[in-house]
Every structure is written in C-alpha cells, then in structure tokens.
Amino acid sequence: MDKSKLLKLAKMVMKFKEISTDKGTLITDEFAVGVEVFIETEEGKYIPATDGEYVTENQKITIKDGKIESIEDNQPIVEELVQESDEKDLRIAELEGLLKDRDAIISELTAKIKELEDKINKPVEEPIEM
C-alpha cells in the first residue's frame, strides 16, 4: 500500500491536524519541528508538502524535505508592518505640514504682488514735469 493511501486511511482513523496557510492546507499528525507534513492534491492524493514558507494567521512554518524545519511566531512580522505604517503616517504628516507652510508663503507672495500691481496701475496724482 502506498504512503498516500496509508495516510488517507490514517486520516480517517486518527485525528490528523490540518492548518490553513497562504499556500493551502497542511496535514500532519502533530505540528512540531521534524514531523512530516502533507498536502492534499486536487485528485485527493496526499503528497509531501513542498519546500518553502507557509504563512498562517499567527505563524510562519518552514518546510524542507517534506518536514517541518521551523515554526515561527508571526507577531514580529505584524509589529514590523505596524511600525512601517506608523513611520509612513509620520512622514505624511510632516509633508502635509510643509505643504501648509508652502501655501502660506504663496498666499503672502500673491498678496504682495497684488499690492505692487495696484501701486503700478494707480494713476499719478501730480504729473512729473521734465
């Protein structure tokens, strides 16, 4: 009997654990380092999980040679993303402040230009004699 059929039979008899990841559902009897992990194909066969990182809501599971190589808590990744987001928000606020300063300077210069235009266009009260 091939390993896939044995696994299917074992899954029916035993309580196998399944965990949903970004690359599909991982199936094993225990989620621990060194334990074999399988995935179910569209045809219903169980094959060893391919090498790579599988991300869940809370963990990052690394698979190598069909076995769990490491299980890492996903929280640092979330905290890193939040920190990056906060830094971007601060930079945006800083840029918005610079834009407000620029707008104030433009308004001031526009008012001075208008004042000068009014002086230039104002008729002379007393003509200048030459």
Asked whether the predicted pLDDT for residue 108 surpasses 90, the reply is yes
pLDDT at 1: 59
Terminal CA-to-CA distance of the chain, rounded, Å?
119
> What is the structure's pLDDT at 84?
83
CA distance 93 to 108: 23
> What are the pLDDT digits (tens) for 16-60?
788 888 888 898 888 889 999 998 888 878 889 999 999 888 889
What does the domain layout of the chain look like in residue ranges?
Answer: 3-73, 75-118
Measured CA to CA in angstroms, residue 30 lies from 36, 40, 46, 119 at distances of 9, 16, 16, 87
| Distance (Å, whole) CA 78 – CA 87 | 14
**Across 97-115, average pLDDT:** 93
